[in-house]
Structure 1
Amino acid sequence: MATNSIMPAVRFHGQKDIRLESIPIPKLTTPSHVLIRPAFCGICGSDLHEYLGGANLIPSENPHPITGETLPLTLGHEFSGIVEDVGDQVKGVKKGDRVCVQPIIYDDDCRSCKRGLHNCCDKNGFVGLSGWGGGLSELMAVPESCVKKLPENVSLEVGALIEPLAVGWHAVDISPWKKGDAALVLGGGPIGLAVVQALVGRGCDNIIVSEVSGKRRQFAKQFGATHVVDPVKEDIVARVEELTGGLGADALKARGTLVNIAVWEKRAQLQMNEIVFRERGYMGVATYSLGDFEAVLEAISSGRMKPEGMITKKIKLDEVVEEGFHTLIDDKENHVKILVDVAGSTKKS
C-alpha cells in the first residue's frame, strides 16, 4: 500500500539480487502518458536470465539511450492493470479502463522505426527491463501507445498473458506458414506453448511439438498440439516425416524456414551447407510488431485461443524471489506462467 509519496516495487540490483523496496510514486508529468495501477504481472524467462546471470539486458554501467536509466530498476513487462489517470493529450483510454501494456521502448526515429519496425529499433528496450518503471510496482506510467484496452470478456489475469502470447503470434505471422502447412515447434516452454496457441488460433491442423519434459508435453497437448514427441527417445526427423505423410515440417524440408525466437547466450554454430544445399531459410524473430497485441486480444475474446491454463501459480509481491524465481529454477517443468498478484499485494486495507 502506498504511504504518502512512496510505494512498494520489486527492484533488480544485480545477479541474484532482487529486492522489494519503497520508491517514490511516479507523477503524471507528460501529457501523452497514462498512469496505470498494475493488477497481475508475469515472471518472464528474460527476468529469470537477468536474475541468474547478472545484468545482461538491464543497463548497469551505461544508461539506456532512451530512458537514461541504469540499475536498480523496477521489474515486470508482462502485465495488466487499471488506468489510474491520463495526460491531457490521451484520447484512447480513460480512468478505470482495464488494460495491458505492450512494453517495447523505441526512439521512433531510426531507420527501422521509420519503416514501422519498432521492435527492431536501433536503441530498443523494454518497460520493466530498461526503465520507465515496471509491472511489479503499485503504480507506473507509460506512453499511450503502449496501452491496449482489454475486451470485456478478457480477465485481468489473462491480460497479463498477452505479452508472451503476442511473441508467439508474431513468430507465426511473419513466418511463411500458411493454412494447410504442418508446423514443428521445438520446445514446450512458455513461448513454445504461445506459438502452439497462435497456430491453433490461426487454424493450423497439424502441430508437432518436440519436448523432453513429459509434463510440458502434457501442456502442449492441453493447448492444442496435434502430436508431441520426446526427442530423447524418438528420431525426431523420422517421426515428423511419419506425422506429415512424408512431406516433412516446413523447417525440415527443402526451401523450408526455421523461425528462431530464442535469445542465444553464446555464439551459435550453424552447418551452413545444410542451409545452402537445401535452400533453407533461417529467420530471427524479435518480440512483436504493430497489431500483434490487438490480434491476440481478438483471438482470445472470440474464443479461438484459450490461454487460462497457462497460469500455474499466483503469488504476492513479497514472494517474488522465493515463490517466483526459485520455483521457476527448481520446478520449472510443472509451471508455465507464474503471476504476481500486484493489486492484491498493494490494496489498501
Structure 2
Amino acid sequence: MASTTTTTPTAPVTTLTTAPTPATMKAVRYHGQRDIRVDDIPVPALKPGHIRIAPKFCGICGSDLHEYLGGNNLIPRPGHPHAITGETAPLTLGHEFSGIVEEVGEGVTTLKVGDRVCVQPIIFDEDCHSCRRGLVNCCDRNGFIGLSGWGGGLCESTVVPEKSAKRLPDGVSLEVGALVEPLAVGWHAINISPYRDGDSALVVGGGPIGLAVVQALIGRGCKNIIVSEVSVRRREFATNFGAHHVLDPAEQDVVAEVKKLTGGLGADVAFDAAGSQHALDAAFQSLKARGTLVNIAVWEKRAQLNMNEIVFRERSYIGVATYSLGDFEEVLEAIASGKMTPENMITKKITMDKVVQDGFRTLIEEKDSQVKILVDIGASL
C-alpha cells in the first residue's frame, strides 16, 4: 500500500503597513511685512528627543499681528538667522497651539502617540546665566517656536522637543488647549508679583492679555478685580470673564474710583497690559503705599516715570516676560479643576486659507470685538 503525506494549508501572510509620511504639507508662512502665505513645504523630519504633532487649533497672537503690520521684529530677517534655530523668514507661524502626538522620536519617555498636548513655545539655550538659574524666559538668546523657527502650529505637521509639549488633562478640550499659552502669560505675571490672598488688583487694558490676567486672578480666588479699559466691548468681556468692577478711563477718574473701591488705600497690585503713558500714570497713582505695578505690555516707545510717585510712596515697578518653568502646568491644573473656565475667550474660528482675510484683517478692523481667533487646522484640510 502506498503511503501519502497530508499538508495543512498555510494562511496567507498579511503585511501591516502604515501610510507613508507625505513629502510636503500646507503651512501658513511669514514672508515679510503684510506678506503671509499658505505654502507647500517639506514635512519636517523627526529627530531624537522630539515628537511629531498634528496641530488641531492655533491662536493668532498680538505678536503675530505686530510682525504682520510692522515687519520683522521678533522674526529674524533673511541674512540674520536666529542664534539658536539658525532660521530666518520665511518661516511657519503659530505659537499658541494644541494638537495630537503622531510620532515620538528616539529617547522620548513622557509622551506617546495619541496624547493630546499643548506646546510651551519658548526656545532657550540652557547654558546662559539666566537658564542656569531656571529663568528660561530670560535666556540671552531666547526665541519662540512659530516666531524664531523650529516650525509652528499653523501647519499640518510640526516637530518640537519633548520638553516643549504638555499633556492636556482629561476634560480639557483641544480648543482650550490653544488658550493655555496666553493664559500662562497672565498666570506668570501674578506669580512674579507679590499678590496674596485677600489683595485687590487693578488691570489696565482689557485686550487678550489683560483678560488673561483677569482669568488668572479668578483662578487664584481674587475677590476684588478692577479693570480699566476704554473700549465698550472689551469692558463687556472683562465683566463676563469675572472682573468685579469695570471702569471707563475716558469718563471716570480711575484713581479716585480705585481708591473708593479699596477703602481709600489704593490697589495692592496693578497689572499694565495697555502700554500707554496715560494708563501707566493712572496705574501708579492708583496703588497703595508699597504697592506694586507689574508691566506685561510691550511698549512701542520709551515710557516716562514720575520717580517721586515711586520713591515717596515706596512703590515697586517690575517687568515680566511671557512665562517660565511650571506656569503651563499650573494653568492646566486650574482649568482642569474648574478654577478657570476660559472657553468664552474664543470669539471666532477660521480655516488656514482664511488666516489673512478672516484672521489678521479682522484683528485689525474689528479688534475690540475679538479676544482670541483660533485657526481650526483640522477643518482646513
Report the TM-score range of the alignment, normalised by the length of the smaller protein.
Answer: over 0.9
Match in the other structure for 1:298: 333
The residue identity in structure 1 corresponding to 2:93 is L
The residue identity in structure 1 corresponding to 2:100 is I
- Alpha-carbon distance in structure 2 between the residues aligned to 1:287 and 1:253: 26
Deviation at 1:302, TM superposition (A): 0.6
Q: Secondary structure at the match of 2:373?
A: strand
Residues 87-116 of structure 1: CA distance to partner in whole angstroms, max 9, x if unpaired? 121111101100000000000000000000
The residue identity in structure 2 corresponding to 1:340 is V
- Alpha-carbon distance in structure 2 between the residues aligned to 1:97 and 1:116: 27
Say which is worse superposed, 199-208 or 3-12, in terms of deviation: 3-12
The residue identity in structure 2 corresponding to 1:152 is D
Match in the other structure for 2:342: 307
Match in the other structure for 2:181: 163
Match in the other structure for 1:204: 222
The residue identity in structure 2 corresponding to 1:266 is K
Match in the other structure for 2:374: 339
- Alpha-carbon distance in structure 1 between the residues aligned to 2:308 and 2:76: 38
Match in the other structure for 2:302: 267
Deviation at 1:253, TM superposition (A): 1.6
Match in the other structure for 1:47: 64
Match in the other structure for 1:133: 151
Match in the other structure for 2:14: none
1:219 maps to which of 230, 237, 241: 237
Deviation at 1:222, TM superposition (A): 0.8
- Alpha-carbon distance in structure 2 between the residues aligned to 1:33 and 1:225: 40
- Alpha-carbon distance in structure 1 between the residues aligned to 2:147 and 2:291: 34
- Alpha-carbon distance in structure 2 between the residues aligned to 1:267 and 1:128: 27
Match in the other structure for 2:319: 284
2:209 maps to which of 191, 209, 212: 191
- Alpha-carbon distance in structure 2 between the residues aligned to 1:4 and 1:59: 28
The answer as to 2:52 corresponding to 1:35 is yes
2:266 maps to which of 248, 251, 271: 248
Match in the other structure for 1:12: 30
- Alpha-carbon distance in structure 2 between the residues aligned to 1:257 and 1:122: 26
Match in the other structure for 1:317: 352
TM-score for both structures, normalised by structure 1: 0.97
Match in the other structure for 2:4: none
Residues 255-286 of structure 1: CA distance to partner in whole angstroms, max 9, x if unpaired? 11110001112222222222122211111000
2:364 maps to which of 316, 329, 336: 329
Residues 144-166 of structure 1: CA distance to partner in whole angstroms, max 9, x if unpaired? 11000001100000000000000
The answer as to 2:165 corresponding to 1:175 is no
- Alpha-carbon distance in structure 1 between the residues aligned to 2:260 and 2:36: 48
1:56 maps to which of 73, 76, 100: 73
The residue identity in structure 2 corresponding to 1:337 is K
Q: Which structure would you say has the larger RCO, counting Cα contacts within 8 Å and 6 or more residues apart?
A: 1
Q: Please list every run of 5 or more consecutive structure 1 residues that lacks an aligned counterpart in the other structure.
A: none
- Alpha-carbon distance in structure 2 between the residues aligned to 1:179 and 1:201: 12
- Alpha-carbon distance in structure 2 between the residues aligned to 1:249 and 1:278: 13
The residue identity in structure 1 corresponding to 2:235 is R
The residue identity in structure 2 corresponding to 1:50 is E
Q: Please list every run of 5 or more consecutive structure 2 residues that lacks an aligned counterpart in the other structure.
A: 1-19, 271-286
The residue identity in structure 2 corresponding to 1:233 is E
Deviation at 1:3, TM superposition (A): 8.8
- Alpha-carbon distance in structure 1 between the residues aligned to 2:311 and 2:38: 51
- Alpha-carbon distance in structure 1 between the residues aligned to 2:380 and 2:72: 27
Pair member with larger Rg:
2
The residue identity in structure 1 corresponding to 2:158 is M
Match in the other structure for 1:78: 96
Deviation at 1:4, TM superposition (A): 3.8
1:94 maps to which of 112, 116, 125: 112
TM-score for both structures, normalised by structure 2: 0.89
Match in the other structure for 1:229: 247
Aligned sequence identity (%) = 72
Q: Secondary structure at the match of 2:329?
A: helix
Runs of 4+ in 1 over 3 A off after TM superposition: none
- Alpha-carbon distance in structure 1 between the residues aligned to 2:320 and 2:347: 26
